[in-house]
Every structure is written in structure tokens, then in C-alpha cells.
Amino acid sequence: MITKSNLPILIRIFCYSILAITFVFLINNVLTVWFEWTGVKKLFAHHGLFGFKKLSKPLEDSALTTAYIQLFFYFASVLLAIIYVVKSIKQSLETDSKILTNFTAYIIRSSFWAVLIVGIADLIVSFMVVEKLVEPIFGETLKIKLVIPAFRITFVHFPLILISFVIGYFTRTVGFIWLAVLVVASEFFIVVSRFIFEYEQAFQGDLVRFWYSALYLFASAYALMHEGHVRVDVLYTGFSERKKAWTNSMGSLLLGIPLCLIVLFLGMGGKASIINGPVISFEITQQGSNGLYLLYLMAVYLAVFGVTMLIQFTSYFMGSSYKLLKS
């Protein structure tokens, strides 16, 4: 029976289960796409469950085993969420909300540093490749390898992304203002180089688009953290604190969380999906070696957007629920 005393526990189990299932979905997506594991969808199709058309060729033993392991991950994640809630039974929804908000802030900070550092590094590499400066300094072998997307992404981008998450852990500020300034400065540099020095390359425009799209998608969760998104203020400002809490909790539960789940589940629904496709193929700009090798990361932006907004909407729901129960 649901009572006012056990309702916070049920809300915590629900919220942490949603996040745990999403986390497992991301792990299973990596296992399926990168390591050729079977996937839960094929398991359902193997048995003809949940509307999936039954496979014409049944799964073999090894494929069936990996599929069951991936399915087990989902059940285990929910169990771990319940165990965590039970072990922290006295923890309030307000505290949970703050924990999730801090975690969202960490992801956003780290992502900001990643796009800043990787963008500058790839700009330098692309400039050296275009101006034929790599071979005299580093030799012909590296010159050939740096125009291969898999090599540049694996040995230049990935290490810098890992370093960015370390930096994000030790910093406590989000540099969106600086990123906005860099976007303007980059555009200004294009204008100056084009009309004064008559110099323009594809990587210059790529950098502006790379940073601008990051500014928009990463700042979305940050704005939600600080209630900076546009509202129908004509109605909302006249609400009591209790009505505001109801509006925020229902909006998060019925609109915000489902939207984020749709973005993630459809964006990573298969190898050719809008997020997985460009990442698997290490997709770069249409300009090839003259542009930046960062188009695949712009697809990852959608995943970062979905994850950070999901965590923050969950935090928002828990915080608003705390206010409702307290009142």
C-alpha cells in the first residue's frame, strides 16, 4: 500500500531504476555495436516476443548466451538500484536530487573540456596537414597516418577526451561563456583571414560548427539545472510553490524523461542509427583531409544531451517531489 511515509522510497526506486536501466542500455549498446554481442532485441526476436518477428535462423548457443547475459544486466541494474535505496533508506529526495545534479554538472564540465581541447588539437593537426608541415617535422609515416580517421581519432582524440574527464573532476566551473567567446573569436578569425589575408580552409568553418553545436546541446542540461529554460511565465509566475512543484514534477515525469529516453533509444537503436552510425564509421566532414575529423563527435553530442537531460530531469522530479511531500 502506498502511503506518505513509503512514497519517497518508491520514488527513489523508480528514479534510480530508470537511470540504472539507461546505463545498462548504453553498456549493451557498446557491446552490441563494437564487440558484436547479440543484443536483447535479437533475443526477443529469437523467441518471437513483444511483437518482434521471429528470426528465420535461430540464434546459436554462443550468441544466445551473450544475449541472455545482456538481458541479465537489466535485471541486475534494477536490483542494485533497490539495494542502494534500501541501504540509504534515510536519505531524502532532496539529497538525491543534489547528488544527481552534481553528477550532471561533472559530465557537462568534462564534455566542455573535451570539445575545447579536442577542437584545438584537431585544428592544429588539420592545419599542419593542409600546409604540408607534418612530413618535415614528424616524417612521412605520421603524415600518412594522420589523414586516416581511425588513427587520428584513436591516438589523438580519445586520449584527450580521457584527460578532459580528469580535468572535469578537479574543476568546479562550467566554461560556457568562454566557449561562446571562442565561437565568436573563431568566426571573427575566419572573416579576417578571408578578407585580409585571403586565406580560408574548411577546418576553420568546421571548428565553429563543432563548438557552436556543443554550446547549444551541452548548455541545455546546465540551463535546466538553473531553471533557465523558457517557461509560460504568464501562468507559472502566478502559481504557488506547491503548484510549481506539481508542474515541475509532472513535466519532468511525463514529458522530460520520456523525451530523453526516446532520443537515446532511437539514436542508438542499431548500427545505422543517427548516433551509432557516424561513430562506428569514424565519420568526418565532407571536406575530407582539409576539414576537421570531428563529425562523429557531433553525433555523440546527442548522446551527451540525452544522458545529461535525463539525469537532470530525474533530479528535477525528485526535488519537486520532495517539496510536495514536505508541504
Range of the domain at 244: 93-326
Same domain, 252 and 235: yes
- Is the confidence at residue 285, as pLDDT, over 70? no
Same domain, 26 and 153: no
| Residue 306 pLDDT grade (very low, low, confident, very high; cuts 50, 70, 90) | very high
Same domain, 132 and 75: no
pLDDT of res. 1: 67
- Is the confidence at residue 78, as pLDDT, over 60? yes
Among 91, 123, 153, the domain boundary falls at 91
pLDDT of res. 190: 85
- The mean per-residue pLDDT over the stretch 178-192 comes to 85
pLDDT of res. 35: 92
| Residue 325 pLDDT grade (very low, low, confident, very high; cuts 50, 70, 90) | confident
pLDDT per position as a tens digit, 13-36: 999 999 999 999 999 999 999 999
Among 28, 58, 91, the domain boundary falls at 91
More confident residue, 3 or 82: 82
| Residue 231 pLDDT grade (very low, low, confident, very high; cuts 50, 70, 90) | low
Same domain, 166 and 244: yes
pLDDT of res. 27: 97
Same domain, 185 and 230: yes
As a whole number of angstroms, the distance between CA 245 and CA 257 comes to 16
- The mean per-residue pLDDT over the stretch 46-72 comes to 89
Instruction: Flag the least confident range among 163-167, 268-272, 288-292.
Output: 288-292
pLDDT of res. 300: 93
pLDDT of res. 312: 95
Same domain, 175 and 217: yes
Q: How much is the pTM? A: 0.91
Instruction: Flag the least confident range among 109-123, 178-192, 267-281.
Output: 178-192
Same domain, 80 and 128: no
Instruction: Flag the least confident range among 40-49, 70-79, 95-104, 219-228.
Output: 219-228
- Is the confidence at residue 260, as pLDDT, over 90? yes
pLDDT of res. 204: 83
- The mean per-residue pLDDT over the stretch 157-186 comes to 87
Same domain, 151 and 289: yes
- The mean per-residue pLDDT over the stretch 301-324 comes to 94
Same domain, 55 and 112: no
- The mean per-residue pLDDT over the stretch 215-238 comes to 78
Same domain, 99 and 86: no
Among 91, 106, 139, the domain boundary falls at 91
Most confident of 63-77, 112-126, 219-233: 63-77
Percent of the chain surpassing pLDDT 90: 50
